[in-house]
Structure 1
């Protein structure tokens, strides 16, 4: 998953020059409360109805309460339950080719501690700064996803991991971070190629199609994918009959 927000400096103390065209959030309806507006914004952003968005500044409190409160974990648990039922509906063959694909950041690993210091996606995103956070290896496990992951491993599924947000130079720290919080026995971790990290990202990405292709060309049967963003985490049709499970992420969009 690559964080590529259409960046607009939403400063809290003073305005400065903008690096890109500002995202203009839809207006609030007459009489609509902030909480109601932010909930509608979240639902539509998650559904992909709002393209290339930045979290409206007035919704920072809403996202903080959602992400750090019980509702976020409840929504994740609901999704994980549906994914578990899908996995149980498939007879896993003995050839090791039946596969699940997981995104890493905001699907298996949580970076909420980082984004809490950056206004939960409303302030300008800086890839260099985020890479420094990655190098600390302190991302925590998303518990419902870890539970799902362990169920799949126990049931002899082959698991692949993908991240467009982390590059090859961060492989060792990423794998250590994953192991430290309880993930084991993945088949392969796909990471993006080295790229410039000294500029702010505001570009679109091609998604993970090349990695899905590699899995399929090696004989893998992709039965499901799990990620937090429709644009970067999912192939339009990674394998006939496969399922795509979208985990909630109210902090930012990967358009």
Structure 2
């Protein structure tokens, strides 16, 4: 992952002295929260950062390593302000509008898939340190320590969508790249603790899948879901690699995430 700034709503009753994010293969570049309003003026940048973010979300810009220097403040402002939360809720609303129109078979095999990291649970607090935001290289040991706390808050709008899907009688399947051996119990706890109280399947990565790319891994896990007789009506993730590959589902929905790119 490349860049992370903690949105203000994540600070409410969730922040501890330190906080975290998911398996980031690259350095993260963070914005200092005291940046001035002038710093957020895109017109002063040599790159149109709003267009850059649009290209990222549309997957027109791929395999990027870090947020361009001139857009780090812009992305920080996006995450700190209301827009990120608003965008998440808007995508969740679109997913619900679609879900309401699906004619479920009703045999208990109508499934909706969610990614976990930064789709249902946010790792943003990992990067909030000493009342500021600071650059941090991804450290797998530190990140696992954060995950084992089970303190990740829900991504805005997604818990509400989850509850509405349950009311419509969709069966929820979580597919995550988290490690099966060390993180299953705490992931179950964290999901339930923020309100994701029930699901059909929670699929994590085991040791035999360590070398798979994210697209390969997600495709494999979805194939297992389909082999069990489930119909994947909806599929939501924050990365395009959550949504590409085999058995992506009848409709896919991408949660906004301009801070990092995972293949």
For the aligned pair, the TM-score class normalised by the smaller chain equals 0.7 to 0.9
Please name the residue that 2:257 is paired with.
249
Please name the residue that 1:130 is paired with.
143
Task: Report the Cα distance in structure 2 between the residues aligned to 1:210 and 1:137, rounded to whole angstroms.
Answer: 26
Q: Secondary structure at the match of 2:108?
A: coil
CA spacing shift, 1:58–1:166, aligned 2, 3 Å: farther
Please name the residue that 1:44 is paired with.
55
Q: Which runs of 5+ in 1 are unaligned?
A: 13-30
Q: Secondary structure at the match of 2:125?
A: helix
TM-score (norm 2): 0.76
Q: Secondary structure at the match of 1:140?
A: coil
Task: Report the Cα distance in structure 1 between the residues aligned to 2:204 and 2:24, rounded to whole angstroms.
Answer: 16
Maintained 8 Å contact 1:159/1:186: yes
Task: Report the Cα distance in structure 2 between the residues aligned to 1:109 and 1:43, rounded to whole angstroms.
Answer: 23
State the 1:53 CA deviation: 2.1
Q: How many residues align?
A: 229
State the 1:112 CA deviation: 1.1
State the 1:156 CA deviation: 0.9
CA spacing shift, 1:121–1:159, aligned 2, 3 Å: farther
TM-score (norm 1): 0.79
State the 1:60 CA deviation: 3.2
Task: Report the Cα distance in structure 2 between the residues aligned to 1:136 and 1:8, rounded to whole angstroms.
Answer: 22
- List per-residue Cα deviations over 1:67-104 (Å, max 9, x = no partner): 23210111111111110011011122221111000000
- List per-residue Cα deviations over 1:165-220 (Å, max 9, x = no partner): 4433211111100111001111010111148x9xxx9x953331111011110100
Does 1:76 pair with 2:84?
no
Q: Which runs of 5+ in 2 are unaligned?
A: 1-20, 32-41
State the 1:57 CA deviation: 4.0
Coordinate RMSD, CA, aligned = 3.2
Please name the residue that 1:56 is paired with.
68
1:1-255 paired onto structure 2 within 5 Å: 3-5=23-25, 7=26, 32-34=43-45, 37-48=48-59, 49-117=61-129, 123-194=136-207, 204-205=213-214, 206-231=216-241, 233-238=242-247, 242-255=250-263
